[in-house]
Amino acid sequence: MSTVLDAPAVSPPANPPQPFAIRLVNLGAEAHIPGWVRDLESFRKWADSSDYPDRGKFSYLHGELFVDLEMEQLFSHNQLKTELTIELGRRVRDSQLGYFFSDGVRLSNPAADLSSEPNAVMVSFSAIQSGRVKLVRGTLGGYVELEGSPELVVEIVSPGSVRKDTVVLKPLYAQAGVSEYWIIDARKAPVQFQLWVLTPKGYVPAELRDGHPVSPLLQSPVSIGQSQDPLGHPRFMVKLGA
């Protein structure tokens, strides 16, 4: 991948700090990153500008910019994400817990120095009412970003996101006060599912019930099964409850 630093289309911040590290994924693609993007504030400004790319995922994680331009896997990523959205989205809606946001929503937390696009986020109505999470308006109107500490974040591991999802984000989400962090890796059978619960000392594995991790937030065990569809491709089933 080549990185092209070009002139900003929006006003750069005054006295920008020193450049941060840039981690690039998927050689052969191209990412245009303005030279004035130097810290969390300038990154968020860029993400809400017309210069922000239509393709790829860009995350600012405590001084590092992670750029992932790889195409999404249809089954081990997209189909799993769809099943997760159906099951979790329905539970959050029916229980009136709050909002379930699927892939593409930006989450930022200044205290943890992060801004990323998780595969799923759940935030309660009470978190928004209390100011624990803020709905951020975009320059063109409407809400485009969450700022603060949502109750649940889900990341589905892809070939280019292993280190980001399993190593880098875990302590940052803990620092950001995310109550539960789910990591799902379906690249090989069986599906690897980690449900981390936040404690004063950081994340600990969720308690198990009948071999399945229990979500304190949803008050339910969570299981992710895998079978084959009629064409021989992976089929995933996300189940909440016994």
Helix (H) or strand (E) holding 81: helix 80-95
What pTM was estimated for this model as a whole? 0.87
Residues 144-174 pLDDT 10s:
999 999 999 999 999 989 999 999 999 999 9
Q: Are residues 208 and 114 in the same domain?
A: yes
Checking if the pLDDT of 29 tops 70, the result is no
Q: Which two tokens stand for residue 220?
A: 């339910």
Q: Is the pLDDT of residue 117 over 70?
A: yes
CA distance 66 to 68: 7
- Do 89 and 208 fall within a single domain? yes
**The domain that contains 81 carries what CATH number?**
3.90.1570.10
Range of the domain at 183: 74-240
CB 41 within 8 A of CB 13: yes
> Are residues 126 and 172 located together in one domain of the fold?
yes
Considering the domain architecture, whether residues 185 and 90 belong to the same structural domain is answered as yes
Q: Are 43 and 97 part of one and the same domain? A: no
Region 23-36: mean pLDDT is 66
Identify whether residues 181 and 205 lie together within a single domain. yes
Same domain, 58 and 86: no
Q: For residues 49 and 120, state if they share a domain.
A: no
Instruction: Please report, to the nearest 10 degrees, the dihedral formed by the alpha carbons of residues 50, 52, 53, 54 taken in order.
Output: -60
Number of domains in the chain: 2
pLDDT digits (tens, 9 = 90+) for 199-213: 999 999 999 999 999
Are residues 104 and 13 located together in one domain of the fold? no
User: What's residue 7's pLDDT?
Assistant: 31
Q: Do both 101 and 207 map to the same domain?
A: yes
Which of 24, 40, 68 terminates a domain? The answer is 68
Identify whether residues 63 and 85 lie together within a single domain. Answer: no
